[in-house]
Amino acid sequence: MLEKIKETTEFLKKKGIVKPEAGLILGTGLGGLSSKIEISIEIDYKDIPNFPLSTVEGHAGKLIYGKLGGRNIVAMKGRFHYYEGYSSDQIALPIRVLKFLGIRHLFLSNAAGGVNPTFQIGDIMIITDHINLMPNPLMGLNDDRIGTRFPDMSEAYDRSLVEKAIRIAGENRIQVKRGIYLGTSGPTFETLAEYKYFRTIGADSVGMSTVPEVIVARHMGLPCFAVSIITDLGIEGKIEYTTHETVQREAEKAEARMTTIMTDLISSL
């Protein structure tokens, strides 16, 4: 694993991606945030050694380097999921490469279903914690040169960044929620019984990404900040037929508000 990480990192450095301060992962329907980046380098995933390929509509599959909020950032326009058939190592590698490139913070976004009865479609939820119902990406042999065998997860999402984001939202008159994100492997959307179960065990939103990336980032000591755009509801009496297209459409509607929060937060680092 370490050899592949170093190979990919050196390739990207030779392409000019040097000293990024933050990494950014853009979820389903949220790739438009990249239009706010002053892009200096853009590389297709297919041209990056050892990188998987995005196979999901709404994930462009490009690595972007440039400035956002006055900071050098490297952004993944499209991510990888277990349901695409990728292994833990394949999902982990891009996050590890971002760390080896030099990022000091990781920012993530996703489209999610809301199971908190106070939520509405279009809400922005700042993630304060998560529940993992996927395979743990750290299973298998551990390389102590990358991270400890048993990483602490008591602060999976950086509290200082969460509080700062709350202030930024208030200053920009953007309403936000806080909540716990539950990660499932997908690719099926949830049954009614599953929605009820997820709410019972403490979830506010549910999705098919983010959690493995955060676990890998915390394994390497990277502080994380993440937001969910609530694109559908798993709440009794409010459940409607859900498709990937409706999820993308609702995510795009809320993207401008999320972009403001992310940009100002990165600027404040």
pLDDT digits (tens, 9 = 90+) for 21-56: 999 998 765 666 777 889 999 999 999 999 887 665
Q: Which residue has the tokens 């502080």?
A: 223
Of the ranges 23-27, 109-113, 181-185, 255-259, the best mean pLDDT one:
181-185
First-residue to last-residue Cα distance in the chain: 30
Three-class SS state of 53: coil
* Domain coverage including residue 115: 2-267
Percent of the chain with pLDDT over 70: 89
- Mean predicted confidence (pLDDT) in 87-106: 93
Total domains, the chain: 1
Phi and psi at residue 109, to the nearest 5°: -135, 155
- Split at pLDDT 50, 70, 90, the class of 90 is confident
Q: Average model confidence (pLDDT) for the chain?
A: 89
- Mean predicted confidence (pLDDT) in 74-99: 89
pLDDT digits (tens, 9 = 90+) for 205-237: 999 999 999 999 999 999 999 999 898 887 776
pLDDT digits (tens, 9 = 90+) for 190-210: 888 999 999 999 999 999 999
Ranges assigned E (strand) in 36-78 = 38-44, 62-68, 71-77
| Residues 59, 178: Cα–Cα separation, whole Å | 25
Degrees to nearest 5, angle at CA 262 with 256 and 264:
100
**pLDDT of residue 244 exceeding 60:** no
Measured from the Cβ of residue 98, the count of other Cβ atoms closer than 10 Å reads 29
Residue 231 pLDDT: 87
- Mean predicted confidence (pLDDT) in 5-19: 95
pLDDT digits (tens, 9 = 90+) for 78-88: 888 888 888 88
**pLDDT of residue 182 exceeding 90:** yes
What is the pTM for the complete model shown?
0.92
Residue 58 pLDDT: 47
The dihedral through the CA atoms of 121, 125, 129, 130 has a sign that is positive
217 and 99 Cβ atoms separated by less than 8 Å: yes
CATH number of domain containing 49: 3.40.50.1580
At a CB cut-off of 8 Å and minimum separation 6, what does 155 contact? none
